[in-house]
Structure 1
Amino acid sequence: MPAKKHRKELTATMITRLKAPAAGRLWVADSVVPGFGVRVTEKGAKTFVLRTRYPGETSASRREIGKVGEIELTVARDKARNWLKLIGEGKDPARVEAEQRRSQVAKDATTVDAVLDAFEKDHVEGLRSGDQVKAAFTNHVRPRIGEKSIYDLKRSDITTMLNEIAAEIAAESRKAKGERDGKVMADRVLAHVRKAFNWQMVQDDDFKSPIVRGMAKTKPKERARKRTLADDEIRDVWAALDQMEQPACYPRYVRSLLLAMTRRNESARMHTDELESDLWIIPGSRYKNKQDHVIPITPALREQIGDKPDGCKGNSWYVFSTTTSGGQLDGAKPFSGFSKAKKELDAIISKIRKAEGRAPMKQWQLHDLRRTGRSLMSRAKVDADHAERCMGHVIGGVRETYDRYEYLDEKRKAFEALASMLDMILNPSADNVVPMRAVAEVAR
């Protein structure tokens, strides 16, 4: 049965009120755009349609523009006008749109976002610093140039991005009354993006990275941190950790960074499978120099490791974890909420110092605890080579064989000296006060 015909200027309200015909289809033509209208089926389905003679056809036919509800009237009407224009030029709208879709798919495959997705999957996943690289892309790169085609990128796009990152970080630091250098963060992001683009160039003959020498905002020596915590700052950190309730593992985790002189993820991913009696063996697969690193567990460090989580069903768990099962900690995943917890810790430190009428604590990072531990070993008269070994640094060049248990006794004494020095700082008395002094020794 042929559709019933009506012709009037369509409105959204009118279309909403259209009822399904008892039989056949209802056709309401628009008086604004020739051939454009709405078709209503017996079941009430409403569709925008353009009736005209398309290129290659001998008679007029109707083609769907879109379903009512999925596309607005104004958009459908504009699309109909565009179709009529293409038809007037002898072009089939279906073929033109298909080509546009193919072009868009090809373009989407070469956006910065697509390249970063592939780079993360192929190169970043599994790296110790993988989370940091992904965060840099998510927070700083994708929002600024993610939708751009890599073939359209210009050096000015990279420069603008870096300037914006530096300004954003600096503004956030000023607001928090900190001293974070936005230029350093911009250069870290630049390094990550450079690696991603170099990776793309290896497999793409047509792509040339827009990153060139001279884009960095700082020099290597300027980026190297030398911050160590003074005695009063160590006491403030420990006092603030005593006040933190959540995450429950965070105080123990932070203290372990100083007592074991480890990097952030090395302690965060400590697992009971790595503990052998009184030794913590960090496997080379997750250590910077790719070699196993053995840390003697002092009583002070043992206290931070703690006991088995109540919700853990086996004998294997992550030491620092916030995951739960049945409302109880189970140690199933390693701790990862660094940023939120660090902000809470800094807020407590600020409160402590303000209450005592002291100036705000200079901006610091968790990695500064590793450097602080090294300086405390120097104050405790630990042999420099043994202190370096405690940090996992290789002494005397690359060896043909590597004995992970070498100098174990010397390392144990060094870590015990560190724990004793820390105890004197945290519990000062007339007999054990150690004068604060700057130590130029910085971890390499």
Structure 2
Amino acid sequence: MTGITVRSVQALKPGETIWDAGHREAVRGFGVRRQRGHPTYVVKYRVFGRQRFFTIGPHGSPWTPTNARKEAKRLLGLVADGKDPADERAQAWLRATDTLSKIADEYLKHAKQKQRPRTYSEIERYLTSVWKPLHSVSVFHIRRRHIAARLTEIATDRGPVTAARARAALSAMFNWAIREGLDIPANPVVGTNRQAEPKSRDRVLTDVELAEIWSACRDDEYGRMTKLLILTAQRRDEVGSMRWLEIDPENKSWIIPGSRTKNHRDHILPLADAALALIEASPHHRDFVFGDGPRRRGDRQRGFSGWSKSKAALDARIIEARRKVIEDAKPLPDWRLHDLRRTAATVMADRLGVLPHIVEAILNHVSGHRAGVAGVYNRARYEAEMREALKRWSEHVSALVA
């Protein structure tokens, strides 16, 4: 039997093989064999002196004698160029399994060791949730047009800020993957339009607004944390993840470890009496000063969560109080918890006479003479000035709400 035709393939019996021959289009090494089931097209070749067989596919759509013969020519061309079709297929399979979901998971393991908890949680949200529509696509097949189209969707559905930060997270992941050795030609995020993020906020609350916020705080965890944010001028997550072992009641101070600060430097913050009283009002039987605690046996305790829900409830109480005075009063204009930190710093510097470098020390900003070895010395030297400044600020807030 010579030549591979539809009729000869259909006539194959189990255990028989036909090699292409006997006609002008015959391809040496191209064959079809039938073992138990359907006939299967194969190609045999030699690599480094060893004979190998490569399965093209079973007879039927899309593999006909004509199509299989063309594929055999292509594969033998690879062999002539020194490539092994079997290796090519293995690499193609690996590329197909390297989906965005898989690579994102690997990158997040790396990022978790490098990033602060809040930064990591944001990156995780962008990669696992915002980019989910592309999760099943191989990173080798993701193109700039895929990313650009998805960024447009994100900007429309979730806003330009989310789109800009999701873009940054994905770009960082691709850069990491390339450095890890994935043979991606280039970062496909590069060249896509960058969404414009809003300018840095400069909102400083008025005395009346600050008093409204304080008065609307309940005697619960969120209320005490919000008041602490006002009195200490520290960051939300630093207060929300405060631990009892960080509090030194004897010296009336709070030692925030570098693992939880933005600049990765330990921060020793003096506490005014009012601030210390807010902390002491929390239960002492757990590690965290504020937080949900373990919900089930074996759960890991964590700091406070539920910021958004609690903030919305606080805003509702503020507008309720306003409408008791003015029936059609409007909500407190756009404000965020971080504005409390900016307000404290501004009032201390502009109205309470606190020197700029003392304000910087309270905020744990590192610049100029506070960097390096001098920073450690100055931090200790400024403790008395910081304590006096925060005492003055606490008295100012007390006078506002009185």
TM-score strictly above 0.5: yes
Q: Match of 2:308?
A: 339
Q: Match of 2:176?
A: 199
Q: Match of 2:26?
A: none
Which residue of the other structure, out of 374, 392, 402, is the alignment partner of 2:345? 374
Q: Match of 2:336?
A: 365
Which residue of the other structure, out of 96, 101, 105, is the alignment partner of 1:117? 105
Shift in Å at residue 228 of structure 1? 2.3
Distance 1:385 1:60, change over 3 A: closer
| SS of match in other structure, 2:268 | strand
Shift in Å at residue 325 of structure 1? 7.1
Q: Match of 2:196?
A: 218
Distance 1:105 1:234, change over 3 A: farther
Alignment of 1:284-433 (within 5 A): 284-307=258-281, 309=283, 312=285, 317-324=287-294, 332-355=301-324, 356=326, 357-378=328-349, 379-397=351-369, 398-401=371-374, 402-403=376-377, 404-427=379-402
Which residue of the other structure, out of 258, 262, 265, is the alignment partner of 2:237? 265
Shift in Å at residue 60 of structure 1? 6.5
| SS of match in other structure, 1:405 | helix
Provide the C-alpha distance between the structure 2 equivalents of 1:229 and 1:87, rounded to a whole number of angstroms.
70
Which residue of the other structure, out of 205, 216, 224, is the alignment partner of 1:240? 216
Contact 2:292-2:304 at 8 Å conserved across structures: yes
Contact 1:376-1:421 at 8 Å conserved across structures: no
Contact 1:319-1:331 at 8 Å conserved across structures: no
Alignment of 1:138-287 (within 5 A): 138-142=128-132, 144-169=133-158, 182-207=159-184, 208-212=186-190, 215-218=193-196, 222-242=198-218, 248-276=220-248, 277=250, 278-287=252-261
One-letter amino acid of the structure 2 residue matched with residue 346 of structure 1: D
Provide the C-alpha distance between the structure 1 equivalents of 2:395 and 2:97, rounded to a whole number of angstroms.
57
Distance 1:141 1:240, change over 3 A: farther
Instruction: Give me the CA root mean square deviation.
Output: 3.4
Distance 1:151 1:296, change over 3 A: same
Provide the C-alpha distance between the structure 2 equivalents of 1:140 and 1:293, rounded to a whole number of angstroms.
35
| SS of match in other structure, 1:204 | coil
Contact 1:318-1:331 at 8 Å conserved across structures: no
Percent of paired sites with the same residue: 28
Give the structure with the larger helix fraction: 2
Distance 1:134 1:341, change over 3 A: farther
One-letter amino acid of the structure 1 residue matched with residue 401 of structure 2: L
Distance 1:167 1:384, change over 3 A: same
Provide the C-alpha distance between the structure 2 equivalents of 1:150 and 1:262, rounded to a whole number of angstroms.
40
Contact 2:231-2:393 at 8 Å conserved across structures: yes
In the superposition, the TM-score normalised over structure 1's length comes to 0.64
Contact 2:229-2:340 at 8 Å conserved across structures: yes
Unaligned runs of 5+ in 2: 1-12, 16-31, 39-56, 69-86
Unaligned runs of 5+ in 1: 1-51, 62-81, 92-98, 170-181, 428-444
Distance 1:163 1:59, change over 3 A: closer
Distance 1:199 1:60, change over 3 A: closer
Distance 1:265 1:108, change over 3 A: farther
In the superposition, the TM-score normalised over structure 2's length comes to 0.70
Contact 1:108-1:114 at 8 Å conserved across structures: no
Distance 1:261 1:161, change over 3 A: farther
Provide the C-alpha distance between the structure 1 equivalents of 2:274 and 2:238, rounded to a whole number of angstroms.
18
Which residue of the other structure, out of 119, 131, 137, is the alignment partner of 2:121? 131
Distance 1:159 1:365, change over 3 A: farther
One-letter amino acid of the structure 2 residue matched with residue 135 of structure 1: R
Alignment of 1:41-60 (within 5 A): 56-57=33-34
Shift in Å at residue 87 of structure 1? 11
Provide the C-alpha distance between the structure 1 equivalents of 2:387 and 2:244, rounded to a whole number of angstroms.
20
Paired residues in the alignment total: 324
Q: Match of 2:19?
A: none
| SS of match in other structure, 1:295 | strand
Distance 1:324 1:358, change over 3 A: same
Encode CA deviations 1:353-400: one digit per residue, 9 max, x unaligned. Answer: 445332222222222221121122122221111111110012424223
